[in-house]
């Protein structure tokens, strides 16, 4: 049951991840933009094609420079040599490369810069494809490994696909404030949907169904279930492993006890064969050493008795073990027939937490955390709700700046700091109580040790007094 519960959680979490991807690609991120370039060429082909062109220009131009340098070094440079080198590279060496048009040496630096600029533009788009692949790979790994770090990497990769365009947009706006403008930044595509910056703050229900908020909530649910999977696996894994191990041992015991009669007969037959082999070897030894007939016979007899004794002891041990195994197997078989719960007790299945308790705990904790998250998120993103409850003057509550990110961060900061402060206080209280308990235990040990020394001293004094009294009487 516990394994079924764990598998169900993993299936639910996988479905939630698919929901996250669908919401992200349909409402927040336009993935079609980052698949192809402006010329309708696949980004991945354009990216590696630009890398190939850059190295082609470098190798081709480097070859021309080396050829001209060698000609200059040996004093062979002249107009005819320049024509020869140019003709050789244009008519022969250029066939090794796929150039749209054969470049001359002065054109190569500009061509390399142009390809590098296109390369970085393709890299910007190619990064999004890499991130979505990483997210899918780690989401699949999270199904087979109950480690939340894989879920974090999967969600983090998707969130990073939103952060990168926002960073580019922020850099562009910052440069505009400084009256600076880079065409390269202006040409960068923003694949994010305008809904990312249009979150309704006045209506709670519109706030809940907004794609960005839905994405944040289901991402939290995904991570919450991932932690629940890890907790369930950590708690139940030792019990399940012990149960499997004991179940396998019981199966082996049942199988061996079933065939134990045949094994006993087999043991006796093997022991009999070994005795016959020993007697045959002794007869051969006596025939070879006839001149030591009497002495050989005596030693042979002694050796045969020793070997026979060893075989009899081994046979007795094996038969005894087989008999005990058979009795134990019959006892366990009878116990399983009489008591239906005996198997669960012997295999320690009852020690594992029950699926019903785990499910109840998961639903209760999960519900109040998600509800708390939604309410706190709405309050933080909608600061006017708090300011009106504080009866602040209209000049503050009706200010446009109340919806700025700075005010939201100011309201968010105390809530963020609240949880670490509470955890530190709890840790401090537990640590202090532990120190006090250890100090009390140390004092108790000191008192017991001093009482023990005092008792020993009294006993020694009594023994000394009694010895002196006996000596005086004597």
Which structure tokens are listed for 240?
């399940």
Q: Are the C-beta atoms of 186 and 160 separated by less than 8 Å?
A: no
Q: 292 in a domain, yes or no?
A: no
Q: 200 in a domain, yes or no?
A: yes
Tell which wins on pLDDT, 208 or 260. 208
pLDDT of 136 reads 93
pLDDT of 16 reads 92
pLDDT surpasses 70 at 289: no
Q: What residues contact residue 454 under an 8 Å CB cut-off, 6+ apart?
A: none
Q: 149 in a domain, yes or no?
A: yes
Q: Among 213, 235, 257, which residue terminates a domain?
A: 235
Q: Among 183, 200, 235, which residue terminates a domain?
A: 235
Structure pTM?
A: 0.64
Choice among 106-110, 144-148, 213-217 with the minimum mean pLDDT? 106-110
Q: 107 in a domain, yes or no?
A: yes
Q: 371 in a domain, yes or no?
A: no
Q: 439 in a domain, yes or no?
A: yes
pLDDT surpasses 70 at 274: no
Average pLDDT of the chain to the nearest whole number? 74
> Long-range contacts of range 49-56, CB-CB < 8 Å, 24 or more positions apart?
50/115, 50/116, 50/118, 50/119, 50/122, 51/119, 53/111, 53/115, 54/112, 54/115, 54/116, 54/119, 56/97, 56/98, 56/99
pLDDT of 308 reads 64
pLDDT of 288 reads 46
Q: 202 in a domain, yes or no?
A: yes
Q: 339 in a domain, yes or no?
A: no
Q: Among 235, 252, 276, which residue terminates a domain?
A: 235
pLDDT of 158 reads 92
pLDDT of 19 reads 92
pLDDT surpasses 60 at 287: no
Q: Highest mean pLDDT: which of 148-157, 178-187, 222-231, 398-407?
A: 148-157
Which residue segment(s) compose the domain that 453 sits in? 403-473
Q: Give the chain's domain count.
A: 2
The share of the chain scoring above pLDDT 70, in percent, equals 59
Q: What is the band of 50 on the pLDDT scale with cuts at 50, 70, 90?
A: confident
pLDDT of 290 reads 46
Choice among 120-129, 133-142, 176-185 with the minimum mean pLDDT? 176-185
């Amino acid at each position: 049951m516990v394994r079924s519960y764990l598998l169900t959680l993993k299936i639910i979490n996988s479905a939630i991840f698919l929901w996250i991807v669908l919401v992200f690609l349909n409402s927040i991120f336009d993935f079609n933009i980052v698949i192809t370039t402006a010329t309708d060429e696949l980004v991945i082909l354009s990216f590696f094609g630009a890398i190939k062109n850059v190295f082609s220009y470098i190798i081709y131009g480097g070859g021309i420079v080396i050829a001209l340098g060698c000609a200059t070094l040996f004093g062979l440079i002249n107009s005819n040599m320049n024509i020869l080198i140019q003709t050789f590279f244009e008519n022969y060496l250029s066939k090794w490369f796929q150039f749209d048009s054969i470049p001359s040496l002065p054109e190569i630096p500009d061509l390399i810069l142009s390809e590098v600029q296109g390369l970085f533009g393709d890299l910007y788009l190619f990064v999004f494809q890499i991130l979505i692949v990483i997210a899918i790979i780690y989401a699949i790994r999270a199904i087979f490994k109950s480690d939340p770090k894989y879920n974090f990497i999967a969600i983090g990769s998707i969130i990073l696909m939103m952060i990168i365009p926002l960073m580019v947009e922020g850099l562009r706006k910052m440069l505009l404030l400084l009256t600076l403008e880079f065409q390269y930044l202006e040409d960068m595509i923003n694949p994010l949907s305008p809904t990312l910056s249009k979150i309704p703050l006045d209506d709670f229900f519109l706030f809940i169904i907004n794609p960005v908020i839905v994405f944040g909530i289901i991402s939290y649910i995904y991570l919450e279930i991932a932690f629940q999977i890890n907790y369930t696996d950590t708690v139940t894994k030792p019990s399940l492993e012990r149960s499997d191990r004991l179940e396998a041992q019981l199966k082996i015991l049942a199988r061996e006890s079933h065939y134990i009669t045949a094994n006993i007969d087999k043991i006796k037959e093997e022991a009999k064969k070994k005795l016959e082999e020993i007697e045959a070897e002794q007869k051969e030894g006596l025939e070879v050493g006839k001149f030591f007939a009497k002495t050989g016979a005596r030693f042979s007899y002694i050796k045969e008795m020793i070997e026979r004794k060893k075989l009899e002891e081994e046979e007795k041990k094996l038969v005894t073990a087989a008999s005990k195994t058979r009795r134990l197997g019959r006892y366990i078989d009878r116990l399983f027939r009489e008591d239906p719960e005996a198997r669960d007790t012997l295999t320690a299945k009852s020690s594992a937490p029950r699926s019903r308790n785990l499910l109840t705990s998961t639903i209760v904790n999960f519900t109040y955390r998600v509800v708390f998250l939604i309410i706190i998120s709405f309050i933080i993103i909608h600061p006017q709700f708090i300011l009106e409850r504080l009866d602040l003057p209209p000049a503050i509550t009706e200010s446009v700046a109340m919806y700025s990110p700075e005010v939201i961060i100011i309201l968010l900061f105390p809530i963020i700091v609240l949880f670490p402060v509470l955890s530190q206080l709890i840790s401090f209280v537990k640590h202090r109580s532990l120190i006090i308990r250890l100090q009390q235990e140390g004092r108790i040990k000191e008192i017991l040790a001093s009482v023990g020394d005092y008792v020993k001293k009294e006993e020694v004094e009594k023994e000394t007094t009694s010895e002196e009294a006996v000596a005086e009487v004597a």
